[in-house]
Chains A and B, each alone.
Chain A
């Protein structure tokens, strides 16, 4: 599959620290790609290099088939017209109305005539700002965020780069944005940088996790859950003497980790076939009742936390 964004050995070093360190990843065309990482991981620096706002110290950035790292201003300007961008804190001219903002953005990317009127109206509807007469200077952060998404879409971009698009939104606004992002799948490549794991889990096809400037892992959400979340985590709930059960299970070689719960134990199993045979036998042998023995759903958050270990 063609990559809309491909970075190879991308590095951005400042005198005091290295923000991005030999990052290599690719964003498939038409996908919704989640770019995850804790604060300070290097996400925004990567976004800036993808857009050509910052020059890499080393490595290459290819966007929509163009090597951005070697481009001059005019070439970059032409390429940026095909990219929609929402910064983490979008800035607008406070004297403009939402319609003014969209018209200004449209004039820069070359949208005019009937397309301008049609897109402006539909994007104002999407942002829930059609009936707002206030100037942008009086908008709440959520309203600015919604307007930011609308202006990013005005040029019907081939690539949409969203930096923390839902961070300032209430649950309803957030749902609207995520629905919109999901609706773009297949038509526009969405590069979705965030630290909100639930959003990624909900809309993204593929995910890259960044920590301290380095790529920790990359793959589909399900793939990551399988690889790192341990589909081998099982809940075992019983009635009866849990302490004896734990003591017996603690001696079994196919158990990696054993954690007490309110109603039994949580097991990390290293040999699932053996476990499926042995667990019912052990429970029966101890004469206690088996209530539940089933895999625990792993969330992206579990994967993220297991991969990105931080000192508190």
Chain B
């Protein structure tokens, strides 16, 4: 993997020098701050909007966690997919890929650096946002049990990393960034649909879609096989992507 060090350093610098440093971290922090507050305010908002003398149950930490996982599973995952849609085809079309590869960077190193920086860009803000989420939840509800929060977020993180590897593979195969994003979303929807089938949810990465919500709710959830198969699937996707990149002509 000749050239991976300098190219990975470039990737990490690029995160801090471009819009990428703002979008995903900002989205995750927004989810972290808004989820507990929204959960706390939901009964008041519902009764005000409906203009009915409804007596809704008092919100709990579980509601805050459910809101957090819902936001991660929809908004944040969408941002993850769109953010990395141009990871490879953008560099190919702008000519930067051929310039870097002409300097001795191998295609495998190119892909591994792309995936590594993407995983870092997803993981670091997720960890920070989880801490913020715990602090805001404690301030709002007086408590923030760490096990359901960390467990559900960690499983969501595996789903996000799997999505990153799918999108980077699509970005290597397709010329169009919008087609990459569209198919990335389609892959996510397909995984969610597959999770409706019990065995798939129990034994395959499809289980990564429903598991965070049930873990956050404190329900005993079979997460080991979805996580293991999700990580293995992501690793396989990286290998396949590297092979495809090696075969692609520039």
A118 within 8 Å of B (CB atoms): no
A82 to chain B, nearest CB (A): 9
- Residues of B close to A77: CB separation below 8 A: 2-3, 104-106
Q: Provided the pairs A74-B106, A78-B2, A108-B103 are in contact, do residues A48 and B96 lie with their beta carbons within 8 angstroms? A: no
CA distance A194 to B145 in the complex (A): 68
Contact, CB under 8 Å: A91 / B98: yes
Question: Size of chain B's interface in residues, with CB distance under 8 A?
Answer: 29
B34 within 8 Å of A (CB atoms): no
Number of residue pairs A-B, CB distance < 8 angstroms: 76
- Residues of A close to B108: CB separation below 8 A: 73
- Which of B7, B10, B106 is the one whose CB lies under 8 Å from A73? B106
1/0 per position for B4-17, CB-CB distance to A under 8 A?
A: 01110110001001
- Which of B3, B96, B107 is the one whose CB lies under 8 Å from A92? B96
B51 within 8 Å of A (CB atoms): no
Contact, CB under 8 Å: B103 / A91: no
CA distance A51 to B18 in the complex (A): 31
Name the interface residues of B82-106: CB closer than 8 Å to any CB of A. 91, 94-106
A84 to chain B, nearest CB (A): 8
B231 to chain A, nearest CB (A): 26
CA distance A78 to B103 in the complex (A): 9
Contact, CB under 8 Å: B6 / A91: no
CA distance A83 to B5 in the complex (A): 20
- Residues of A close to B94: CB separation below 8 A: 91
CA distance A151 to B104 in the complex (A): 13
A105 closest partner in B (C-beta): B103
Contact, CB under 8 Å: A53 / B106: no
B12 to chain A, nearest CB (A): 12
Q: Provided the pairs A73-B108, A73-B246, A80-B104 are in contact, do residues A107 and B98 lie with their beta carbons within 8 angstroms? A: no
- Residues of B close to A155: CB separation below 8 A: 103
A169 to chain B, nearest CB (A): 18
Name the interface residues of A28-56: CB closer than 8 Å to any CB of B. 48, 51, 53-55
- Which of B17, B104, B107 is the one whose CB lies under 8 Å from A81? B104
- Residues of B close to A90: CB separation below 8 A: 95, 99
CA distance A83 to B99 in the complex (A): 12
Contact, CB under 8 Å: B95 / A108: no
CA distance A55 to B98 in the complex (A): 15
B56 within 8 Å of A (CB atoms): no
A142 within 8 Å of B (CB atoms): no
Contact, CB under 8 Å: A80 / B103: yes
A83 closest partner in B (C-beta): B102
**Subset of 27 A-B contacts with CB under 8 Å:** A48-B249, A51-B102, A54-B250, A55-B249, A73-B106, A76-B106, A77-B2, A77-B104, A77-B106, A78-B2, A80-B101, A80-B102, A80-B103, A80-B104, A81-B103, A87-B98, A87-B102, A91-B96, A91-B97, A92-B99, A95-B18, A105-B99, A107-B9, A108-B3, A108-B105, A151-B99, A155-B103
Extra inter-chain contacts (15) besides given A80-B103, A80-B104, A87-B99, CB under 8 Å: A48-B249, A53-B101, A53-B250, A54-B250, A73-B108, A73-B246, A77-B2, A77-B104, A83-B102, A87-B95, A90-B99, A91-B94, A93-B96, A96-B17, A108-B103
